[in-house]
Amino acid sequence: MPVINIYLARHGQTAANADAILQGSRTNPPLNECGVKQASALAGAMENEGLDWIVTSGLERAIETANLVAKHHKDTPFLSDARLNEISWGDLDGAKFADIKPIVDKVVNQWKNGDYDARIHNGESANDGKARIVAAFSDILRVARERKYRNLFICIHGRIMRVIMAALVDKDLSKMQHFSHTNCCYHQIQVDIGDDPASSIDPEKLTFKPIRIDVRDHLANLAKVEPSICSGL
């Protein structure tokens, strides 16, 4: 039966990352110099992985990162899907994290305790993020089955990466904080989607197997990393 191999990567650093600014779907900065170096290192790590499809969120930092990966895979189809965007932190998007940490921590703790509808004012909840990624993954996996793709590279964002890993791999949103990340790290997961082209694909009913988690060996020689104050987002 067809097994899909997924490299789930976070984008490279932006000036907002470096300055410890809360960066959700309402903020759309490009990579900074460090982020370009990180993305280039990630591209090197993916160079020999035989990628069949490159998918990103609709935000510039993810698209720019994936474009550097795509340089090693010139004939590989490329798709940008806004359903994979970072969670919106609402009114706090773009604020200095040190200034709003108690508010963010409260919502993150509510998610850890099972209140997945908690949100910052005008922002998204964990359930909102989950609904988006389940819909996106259903379509992505259906197309991969139709086109017989086996190796997918998906470039996204820190919190939505936690949502994917908790909701699809662990089947438990309360475990979002169990998955650490840094800019341009990646998780490798696999899923058996079956070979019946007529069957629907419900990602919540599939078994996503973790192969490698929080891989960052390719970043070892890069000195600059985002401030640790943001590592829990």
Residue 70: give its domain's CATH number: 3.40.50.1240
Residue 11 a catalytic site member: yes
Location of structure tokens 């970072």: 86
- Tell whether 219 is covered by a domain: yes
Number of domains in the chain: 1
Residue 181 a catalytic site member: no
State the residue range of the domain holding 154: 3-226
- Tell whether 231 is covered by a domain: no
The active-site residue, picked from 64, 86, 124, 226, is 86
Spatial CA neighbour of 124 closest among 160, 156, 99: 160
- Tell whether 42 is covered by a domain: yes
Tens place of pLDDT per residue across the chain (233 aa): 589 999 999 999 999 999 999 999 999 999 999 999 999 999 999 999 999 999 999 999 999 999 999 999 999 999 999 999 999 999 999 999 999 999 999 999 999 999 999 999 999 999 999 999 999 999 999 999 999 999 999 999 999 999 999 999 999 999 999 999 999 999 999 999 987 777 789 999 999 999 999 999 999 988 656 665 555 67
Give the pTM.
0.95
Query: Which segments are annotated as binding site for substrate?
Result: 10-17, 61
- Tell whether 232 is covered by a domain: no
Query: Which segments are annotated as binding site?
Result: 10-17, 61
Q: Where are the alpha helices (DSSP H) in the chain?
A: 15-18, 33-46, 60-70, 97-112, 126-147, 158-164
- Tell whether 48 is covered by a domain: yes
From residue 214, give the alpha-carbon distance in Å to each of 185, 189, 211, 217, 219: 6, 11, 10, 9, 11
- Tell whether 59 is covered by a domain: yes
- Tell whether 86 is covered by a domain: yes
